[in-house]
Amino acid sequence: MHFYGRENLNATNIKMDEKPQGKFCALEYRPKGLRSGSLQAESIILLVLEDGEGHLRFLVHPELHTVVADNDLSYLESLLKDFLERAMQHPAALFKQLSSLGVGPLVTQEVGSNISNHPLLLILCSRFVKL
């Protein structure tokens, strides 16, 4: 399974006027050896949005294959596929897990509610593509 810039032709952007509500989780790509820092748009590759009914929506960087190192890309693609499958069965447990990732190349950067109050993340919503 390939994503973004490769074979996923069904991806669509979220429009700015949709203003996603509910909880959100921003995850950054952190290559081995890179320390955490402040919230930067360049490092965020995945936004997870939870609506009021507990359904999850995944928005991913449209150029994932250029942002992620070759040696991490297959691993991250398999994680994304797993997230989609798990979101169908156990969305609350998955959101909780994604909200506290601290090890590996995909790390939680920010968690909160009402992404509309976070202009940087709202801009990313409009640029990222839906899984």
Q: What is the pLDDT of residues 84-97, one digit of tens each?
A: 999 999 999 999 99
* pTM metric for this prediction: 0.82
Say if residue 119's pLDDT is above 50. yes
Which residue pairs, CB below 8 angstroms and at least 24 apart, start in 47-50? 47/115, 47/121, 47/124, 47/125, 47/128, 48/24, 48/83, 48/95, 48/98, 49/20, 49/22, 49/23, 49/24, 49/115, 49/125, 50/22, 50/23, 50/24, 50/25, 50/91, 50/95
Decide: 26 and 44 in contact? Cβ < 8 Å.
Answer: yes
- Split at pLDDT 50, 70, 90, the class of 40 is low
pLDDT digits (tens, 9 = 90+) for 55-81: 999 999 999 999 999 999 999 999 999
List the chain domain ranges: 16-130
